[in-house]
Structure 1
């Protein structure tokens, strides 16, 4: 078990833990909560050995294996699959020992090395790694892409997959949901429920904590307070404890007042001096119960919109996507993500936008927010529509070099130039005061945004939105960097907002609290989702399971075709019609014949690869069965060596099989 007994932990001059004690038992799943700056991440640094206690006793079983998400951004040309496989440190050590054993030509060492490699799960390592990658939202076509080809958020997902790949007895997860969409979050939640080791997690997602934790440790006043139960149970127990503490405090204050009154009255009288002095000592000895001051939670509200057009906007046969890149070849068309959308957004609606990763949720929101133009069709806006847009990446709308005050001054100028009056004070002092209501006070109003934390940037974006008095709020993952108290404040503000809300979020508590209907973005379209979030979670888990099974089959049984992947495609001009049906049939027949001729030699080659793979699969099964029996070291070494060769040959053939399959598919579908 993990034990902290009277531990003192400092960061510079600040004492984060002072005589703090707690015990965490093997297999417990613990949510670590507390206000920002309370010391949650510092406690993780103690647990992983980066920091050492400044006092007291701290113990973690020496034999426990640790897994955690590396915080550095990976820079490597390795494929995503290989990068995640290397997270299995046991397998990596076994592979290195095999290489070292082969170099010495020591039969017994080679035998032991190959057995260790087999026990480490080398046979299914690729399938395990790819299941993790797909579960976290990557496409099957991205499994072999270089790590460097992904954006920062996706690389952090790979770091998370690498941590999950690592065999461990203790796992530390610090805000693991920050870079995840709802589909990936639901998958991670299910994975962690099956995890058998001890888990400590820091998160601001209430439903995530409720789903996976059975113990809550609260850091407060430099102490560690343990509560049995998930986050909601912790809140209930803490509220009850606070009520009891407040009652004790009130009684103590009455006693202190009584003692103080006696001391003040009789300390100058010689006859009562001894009694007064004894009461002074009693007062000094009395355990002081700290008054429960309400935590300074961040609260705000959206102002009443100046008007409410109805409908807010109407989409007619609208197609959304991205224009061709500047360096794209001439004639390249736009990339279509969502098409044929016919929807209206009415005054007062609360719409939650659902959809698996990559289906087009953010594309839909960006287009409605005017950040992207529709590729086809039109969006008709109601008269007086005033949009407040929270981008998924705050820096999409913030300038890193500018200060909060400069952002507000520019917002005033842009609003005035557009002929829109936000109904707020526009003088610099008015803007300073308004920023102060969002906890930007003093020197913070002149601090560069690029040096601020994610939570501070999110607050600034919310501040700018509130000032504009919008009647339509478009919020794309607004809670990524918000703590639990601020998320609660946002939910309350949205519920009191009189305008319309369109919300993309992986925070299910926020979705449940705010939204009364859901739109599903899937398979290139937008449709109403007839169900609640529990139904949607079941749908996501089924999809995730299906993708994992397809990836596993593609690796272990190459005869099964690779899973089909729907990818965005450029808008194509409609094909010209044949002059008459007879000509059309002849043209179709000629095209099919040409496609068959192109695919025939490729199919022959694919059949040969299939036969070779089947033979190697059979040999692999025989070797594995042989190694499961007691054998002399020399035979084990020989079998292990052959197993490695067979595995390498299978990997090469699998790559060839996939390449041939893609070529055949392309030949069969190509236009002639």
Structure 2
């Protein structure tokens, strides 16, 4: 049992916890939620022993083994498999004891050491590690690749696999889904559901929290408030509490009325098609938790587009991929990932782009956004198409030495007068006011972007997109750095947007709320997906099973 009783915890001059109390029973799976800066990571620091309470009582069973994802970027030439195996601390200890026993020349000690080595699963360690690696989206031919050969996001997946490899009584996960695609996320959910220990997880993915947690602890005003239930149940209970607070309800009345108007309008628009029913369910959830959403500190809206071509764009026999490297020998062909695309995007469509990792979702988005050129075929655009593009790497495009105000001034100078709407003069004061609607107020507008959090950078990118008044929103994993409140605000803004949306995301709540239809990028093709997200999750699990079985068969043949 974990006991936190009347604990006060300070970080510098800030009181993160103030006489806070909670208990976590063995085997409970807890979602830790709260606004950014509320103290979630600080509470993790207390749980893992990195921080110590300033007053009060904190106890955790001394015999518990703890696992968490290391936040440092691994730098090693070890193979992916060997790196993950080393996460099994019990195995490492058993191997060390075998070496010590052999050096001691003590027969009994050696016998006991080898028995212990067998008990900790030494002989299937490689298979267990590789199952984790494959589940998190790696391919079979990458199992023996050096860790240093992978990009940063993939190395963080290896850190996650290493933490899951560790036998533990307490598993601490801080935003474990940030570097995952939807296929890896679905696999991770299934793995965590079978985890038998105690788990505490911080996540801004509501469906992930709903799937893997049964208790929610909310950090609110430096207190720990425990709710029995997953995140959706927590939202409902908290909404009921807030609705009982008459003063708060009165302050929120206008915001709730606006939200209700929006819900009613879009529920009426939704057809009875299977995909649209996901949106209806999401909107019904919003009805239940309207007070919570109205209380959120952040909201925004996309401005009405100045014109709306129809069709937006068309792809005719298009093949997409990557051109040959400049360093490649003459005559080296480009890399084609998807062939023969014949699709049109019409005004008002709301398309979710699905596909397992590496199948070409981002390549498709980059091609539509002109970050890549089609290798073959034709991509034609409607007259007046204005794309608002949020790329996975968009945060890297920001200039770290520039401030939000400087970014907006540069953007305003590059935006022709005839592309601006009412109130978009481009003057410094109007830009300050505009940034204020995205929670950049006071001195924040002059803070270098390089010193900002990922969430703040993502908000700035959204602000820059909104300023451009696009008629087609092309969003590739826009929620990676957004907290739950900002994700909800984005979902509402996207549904109020009258233009066209194309969305790649592992945030299923956002996909359900926004999209009426899906395209599936798989096996070198782009096809409509006739089903909803529940059908797609089943498809992903079946695909993961097929890959595991193929890997197992290949290992047996190699042996």
Normalization by structure 1: what TM-score?
0.75
**Compared with structure 1, are the counterparts of its residues 109 and 558 closer, same or farther at alpha carbon in structure 2 (3 Å cutoff)?**
farther
**Displacement, 1:23?**
0.8
1:426-441 equivalences in 2 (<5 Å): 426-441=426-441
Distance 1:461 1:361 in 2: 21
2:477 corresponds to: 477
Does the Cα contact within 8 Å between 2:311 and 2:344 map onto a contact in 1? yes
SS at structure 1 position matched to 2:557:
coil
Q: 1:382 to 1:249 in 2, by over 3 A?
A: closer
Residue in structure 1 matched with residue 449 of structure 2 by the alignment: 449
Equivalent position of 2:199 in the other structure: 199
Q: Which of 138-147 and 525-534 deviates more?
A: 138-147
User: Which residue in 2 is equivalent to 1:535?
Assistant: 535
Distance 1:319 1:247 in 2: 59
Kept after mapping to 1: 8 A contact 2:320/2:337: yes
Post-superposition Cα deviations, 1:206-229, rounded to whole Å, max 9, x if no partner, equal 111111111011111111111100
Q: How does 1:85-96 map to 2 (within 5 A)?
A: 85-96=85-96
Q: Which residue of 2 aligns with 1:329?
A: 329
Counterpart CA distance in 2 for 1:7 and 1:315 is: 60
SS of alignment partner, residue 224 of structure 2: strand
Matched with 1:548 is: 548
User: Partner residue of 2:63?
Assistant: 63
| Range with bigger deviation, 100-109 or 239-248 | 239-248
CA contact (8 A) 2:366 2:372 kept: yes
Match of 1:11 in 2: 11
Task: Report the Cα distance in structure 1 between the residues aligned to 2:245 and 2:311, rounded to whole angstroms.
Answer: 52
Structure 2 CA distance for aligned equivalents of residues 249 and 208 of structure 1: 29
CA drift at 1:399: 1.8
User: How far apart, CA to CA, are the structure 2 residues paired with 1:248 and 1:398?
Assistant: 38
The residue that corresponds to 2:491 in the other structure is 491
Partner residue of 1:597?
Answer: none
How do 1:207-356 and structure 2 match up within 5 A?
207-246=207-246, 295=295, 297-356=297-356
Distance 1:155 1:425, change over 3 A: same
Distance 2:248 2:533 in 1: 42
d(CA) in 1 for partners of 2:166, 2:536: 30
Q: Call closer, same or farther: CA 1:306–1:74 in 2, change over 3 Å.
A: same
- Greater shift in the superposed pair: 491-500 or 241-250: 241-250
Distance of 2:525 and 2:474 partners within structure 1: 19
Any idea what the Cα deviations from partners look like across 1:222-272, whole Å, max 9, x if unmatched? 11111100011111111222233448999xxxxxxxxxxxxxxxxxxxxxx
In the aligned structure 2, how far is the partner of 1:15 from the partner of 1:170? 26
Which residue matches 1:48? Answer: 48
Equivalent residue of 1:154, what SS?
helix
In the alignment, which residue of structure 2 is the partner of 1:133? 133
SS in 2 for 1:35: coil
Q: Deviations over 1:630-656 (max 9, x none)?
A: xxxxxxxxxxxxxxxxxxxxxxxx5xx
Question: Runs of at least 4 residues of structure 1 off by over 6 A?
Answer: 247-250
1:295-334 deviations in whole A, cap 9, x for unaligned? 4521111111111100000001111111122222222221
Name 2:269's counterpart in structure 1: none
Could you say which residue in structure 2 is the equivalent of 1:357? Answer: 357
Partner of 2:31: 31
1:558 maps to what in 2? 557
Q: 1:329 to 1:131 in 2, by over 3 A?
A: same
Corresponding residue for residue 505 of structure 2: 505
Gapped regions of structure 1 (runs ≥ 5): 251-291, 560-653, 655-672
- Say if 2:78 is the partner of 1:105: no
Offset of residue 396 of structure 1: 4.2
Task: Give distance in 1, aligned partners of 2:249 and 2:381.
Answer: 58
SS of equivalent to 1:16: strand
Cα pair 1:131 1:551 within 8 Å, conserved: no
Distance 1:248 1:432, change over 3 A: closer
| CA RMSD in angstroms, aligned pairs only | 1.8
Is 426-435 or 493-502 further displaced after alignment? 426-435
Number of aligned residues: 517
Aligned to 1:414: 414
The alpha carbon displacement at 1:108 in A equals 1.3
Contact 1:4 1:21 in 2 (8 A): yes
Maintained 8 Å contact 2:68/2:171: yes
1:38 match: secondary structure? coil
Aligned to 1:517: 517
- TM superposition shift of 1:420: 4.1
Looking at structure 1, the residues matched to 322 and 400 of structure 2 have their Cα atoms a distance apart, in angstroms, of 25
Q: Secondary structure at the match of 1:352?
A: strand
Once residues 165 and 246 of structure 2 are traced to their aligned partners in structure 1, the CA distance between those partners, rounded to angstroms, is 47
- Equivalent position of 2:276 in the other structure: none
CA distance in structure 2 between the partners assigned to 1:185 and 1:44 by the alignment: 22
C-alpha change, 1:366 and 1:393, in structure 2 (3 Å) is same
2:149 corresponds to: 149
**Residue pair 1:394, 1:457 contacting (<8 A) in 2 also:** no
Query: What is the Cα deviation at residue 415 of structure 1?
Result: 2.4
Q: How far apart are the structure 1 equivalents of 2:79 and 2:295?
A: 47
Once the two structures are superposed, what CA deviation does each residue of 1:322-350 show, in whole Å capped at 9, x if it has no partner?
A: 11222222222211111110100000000
| 1:180 pairs with 2:180 | yes
* Matched-pair contact (CA < 8 Å) for 1:19–1:56: yes
Give 1:102 deviation, angstroms: 1.9
In structure 2, relative to structure 1, the CA distance for the partners of 1:543 and 1:227 (3 Å cut) is same
Matches within 5 A, 1:567-586: none
Question: Where in structure 2 are there 5+ consecutive unaligned residues?
Answer: 251-291
Task: Report the 3-state secondary structure (helix = DSSP H, G, I; strand = E; otherwise coil) of the residue aligned with 1:558.
Answer: helix
Q: What SS does structure 2 have at the residue aligned with 1:509?
A: helix
| 1:320 partner SS | strand
Q: In structure 2, how many angstroms separate the alpha carbons of the residues matched to 1:448 and 1:394?
A: 16
Contact residue 432 and residue 445 of structure 2 kept, 8 A: yes
The alpha carbon displacement at 1:554 in A equals 3.5
- CA gap 1:293/1:313 in 2 versus in 1, 3 angstroms: closer
Structure 2 distance, partners of 1:208, 1:168, is 21
CA distance in 2 between counterparts of 1:213 and 1:353 reads: 27
Distance 2:212 2:309 in 1: 43
**Structure-1 residue corresponding to 2:259:** none
